[in-house]
Structure 1
Amino acid sequence: MRVNASDGVNKWSTASYKDLEPPFYSELVFNVTNSLPRMSQFNVTPGGLVRYNDPIEYKANIEDEDGDMLNVTLHILDENGNEIRNETLNTMPGPVSFKANEYGFFKEDDAGKNFTYYYSYDDGINSTARDPEEPLTGPNLRKGAKLAVDRLGFVSASENYYWWDRYGFSVRAKNLNPEEYDVSFTLSTRTEDGEWTTVESKTEKIGINPVVVHFNQTKPFLVNDAGKTFYYRIKYSEYDQSGRDSLERQGEVLNSKIVPYRIYDGIMVFNLFLMLAVLALLGFFMERGLQKGVEAHESVSGRGAANATSASGISESNSAKSVIKMLRRK
């Protein structure tokens, strides 16, 4: 590094020139060093077979001792090893994430294909063109149904919508593609601001012909749901024509009555009779116990009195005999 200065008349410099006299200083020499970034902890989530529009995420960690701003590029390869997509992220050292849905990495036509990937990165000085050297596997996209779902509804055992009633729920589905697939359906319910509660799950084969999936004779509600509006949802394991994986509807307001029986109902009468019988039996045993206690106490008290009388008689007899002996001596 060399510094030259001038005020228009005189010149100063850190180096020596022929027409410049001392004092001057030597040039400053220094070495520029740079640490190469390193990547680790490569991963793709979720693992295994996934759908093309699942929340697929590429994850890794990159380190740089200098703390430089880094350029990280994800390269995605097809089954033949040809690069089909790439995306670059400017980031500081730390976790690195590429979410497939945000970048539109995969389309419906990619279903049934397997992909590989690797990274390249640089810090503006040094770069790594391929890490790791052998591409990593992922994701593996599975084929699946493209559902058309409609006619979500419910029926109740009565129009009063009691919480203890049995309810039936149903939805109609078909596959827009010609294949037939096993699709899982899960029924859940909630009331107002409550959490969703799973009621029942089942798997149906869905093809091009519409199939009505029924959840019959369910009892999804509890006593504390009385008087509240309920909601119901059926979730399915494939996406539908709108890109959703569930349908949800608002039901009715559940009746506020909390007791399932009338006061003159047979079951209520039986329960009342049973309760009275138990109370009567309990009172009988309590009375017997008290009576035995009283009898035992009276028995003990009677023996004590008899013993006292006998002792008194003996004492009086002994006193009389002593008086007679004294008179005879005189």
Structure 2
Amino acid sequence: MSGAHNPRHASRPSRVLTVALPIGLAVTALGMLWAIADVPAAAEAEVPPAPVVAAQLPGVDVGGVIAADPCADPGVTDALAADDDEAAITAFGGGAAFRDAVVAGNAPCISLSDPARIWLVVNKARPLAPLDFEPAGLDGVDLATTTPSDRLRTDARDALGGLARDADASGAGVIGINNGYRSYNLQVSTYSGFVAAEGVAGADEGSARAGFSEHQTGLAVDVVACEDECGDIDAFGSTAQGAWVQEHAWEYGYVVRYESGATGTTGYMPEPWHLRFVGPQLAAAYHEGGYHTLEEFFALPAAPDYAH
């Protein structure tokens, strides 16, 4: 609204009417005028202050303060329309600001269930939608592999390549992959194999059911230590490569998804080889905030078991 002066509210000169009054009545009238003159100040003191508006954007009322809705920012809407997740996070103000907005419920344009986004959270309580989701833009990883599942989303593949090169250059050793993207049908087969060998309870501790697997998103990879040949993933945590990944993976946009001590939240036994790509800004916020699971990072409920 404009703050321009409204001519309707301008004061107009008034006529003065002189009336002769008895002295007693005149004194009484003056007393009444003085009393009336004190009223406006007292009334103004009782008017409650207006809410403070943090920014000129639609938002959420939190304790009388209207917090700006980042989703109304053109930088956010344009980045989302272009499917540029990193640019969208930047427009929010970075990884920590993005996380805070999502946790506060002040980011209606962000869905943690969208399988095409790097901020997706999939676990035993949060299946993919649709269950047979297939990511776009998969490409083979230029690293030693121990299975035919050597593809990742392009952004995750490029980041993993940089991670592996720097690990080797640092003296930690060569890193290869055991598994990258697995389709819904391949996950059916993989999980069924674990069930046959270990039973349902045993399988659920180390393998996701089809439609509930991070591998199906193209954003997750199981890495292995390689020298003359690549070792088994179960040995990865005790290798120099494993120690390097634990310390440096976040610098490349990855987090170790299933850490020791987090089984009650994730539902999986520790897997120091299982890396999940979330992009450099979210990974930095995750690391700097001291988080150990994506559930904790986004203030989501623990998911130790399947509903059925």
Query: Same fold judged by TM-score > 0.5?
Result: no
Higher CA-based Rg: 1
Q: Which has the higher strand share?
A: 1
- Higher RCO (CA-CA < 8 Å; seq separation 6+): 2
Q: Which has the higher helix share?
A: 2
TM-score by length of 2: 0.22
TM-score by length of 1: 0.21
